[in-house]
Amino acid sequence: MSIFSPTDLDAIGLSTKVALVATLVSLPFGFVMAYVMTFRRFRGKVLLEVAVNLPLTLPPVVIGYLLLLLLGKNGWLGHLLDQAGIRIIFTWQAAVVASAVVGFPLLVRSIRIGMESIDQRLIHASRTLGARWYDTLFTVIVPLSLQGILAGSSLMFARSLGEFGATIIVAGNIPGVTQTIPLAIFDYVNSPDGERMALALCMTAIVLSLLVLFLHEHFGRKLARRD
C-alpha cells in the first residue's frame, strides 16, 4: 500500500506535469531568444538581455505578484483572457506560467552557451555552400546546440519541480488542483504531525531530481560521443 495519500499522488503528478509542460512550452521561445541573442545584432539588445535575465535575480514571490497583476481579472492580459472566457489564475496552467517565467533565463542561458560555442566558420561554410539562414539553422545550429538545449531543458525542468514562491501566489495551494510537491511539503511542515509525510515528499523530490540529472548525463554523454 502506498504511503502517499491521493492528494500527495496528485501533487507528485501535477509537479511532473507542470515541469514538463513549462519546459516544452518554453523550449521554442527559449531557442528563438538564444538564437536572437547569439546571432543577431540590433539596437536594444542589452535591454532585452536584462529583461530576459530579470527573473533570475528577482525574488520568485515578486514574479508571482507581478504575474498576478498581469493575469488577474483586472490585469491587462487577464482582462483580455477573461473576455475570451479563459481563466488562468488559480489553475494548474498558472503554475506552468510561473515555472516558465522563473526558469526561462536558465533555459536561454544554457542554449546560448551551446550556440556561442559553435565555430562561426561552420556557419560561414554552410552559407557559402548554398544554405539559406533557415537551412543553416536546422542543419548546423540546431544539431550543434543539442547539448545546450538538453542542459537548458534539464535545468528548467528541475527548477520547475522546485518552484514555490511564484506558484503559490499565482496558482494558490489547492490540493488536487494546483498543489505541487513543494506546496504540499509546505503544508505538511506547517501541520502538527506532517513531518513523516514532508520527509517522504522530500525523498520523492530528490528522486525526481536525480532522475533528471542522470538522464541529462546519459544523453549529454551520448551527444558528446557523437561529436
Q: Considering the rule CB under 8 A, would residue 140 count as an interface residue with another protein? A: yes
> Which is nearer to another protein, 5 or 117 (by Cβ)?
117
**Cell 529583461 identifies what position?**
51
143 is a site residue for another protein (CB under 8 A): yes
C-alpha span between 92 and 89 (Å, rounded): 8
CA distance 211 to 225: 21
Burial tier of 36 (Cβ tally within 10 Å: 0-12, 13-18, 19+): middle
CB 188 within 8 A of CB 178: no
| Nearer residue to another protein within complex by CB, 193 or 227 | 227
Each residue 13-52 as x (binds another protein by CB under 8 A) or -, in order, gives ----------------------------------------
Question: Using CB under 8 A, which of 56, 86, 122, 213 touches another protein?
Answer: 122
Closest contact distance (angstroms) between CB of 84 and another protein is 42
Among 124, 218, 221, 222, the residue binding another protein under the rule CB under 8 A is 124
Burial class (CB in 10 A: 0-12, 13-18, 19+), 132: exposed
Site string for another protein, 73-92 (x = CB under 8 A): --------------------
Q: Which residues contact 170 (CB under 8 A, 6 or more apart)?
A: 64, 67, 68, 71, 89, 90, 94, 95, 97, 98
Using the Cα atoms of residue 33, residue 39, residue 42 and residue 48 in order, give the sign of their dihedral: positive
Residue 227 in contact with another protein, rule: CB under 8 A: yes
Provide, rounded to whole angstroms, the least separation between the CB of residue 126 and another protein.
7
* Least gap, CB of 42 to another protein (angstroms): 16
Shortest Å, Cβ 43 to another protein: 18
Report whether 158 contacts 178 (CB < 8 A): no
Cβ 145 to another protein shortest distance, Å: 11
Whether the CA torsion 176, 178, 182, 183 is positive or negative: it is negative
Q: Which stretch binds another protein (CB under 8 A): 18-26, 91-99, 103-111, 114-122?
A: 114-122
Nearest distance in Å: CB 27, another protein = 20
Q: Is 127 in the site for another protein (CB under 8 A)?
A: yes
Percent helix, strand, coil in the chain (nearest 5)?
80, 0, 20
User: What residues line the site for another protein (CB under 8 A)?
Assistant: 119, 121-122, 124-132, 135, 139-140, 143-144, 226-227
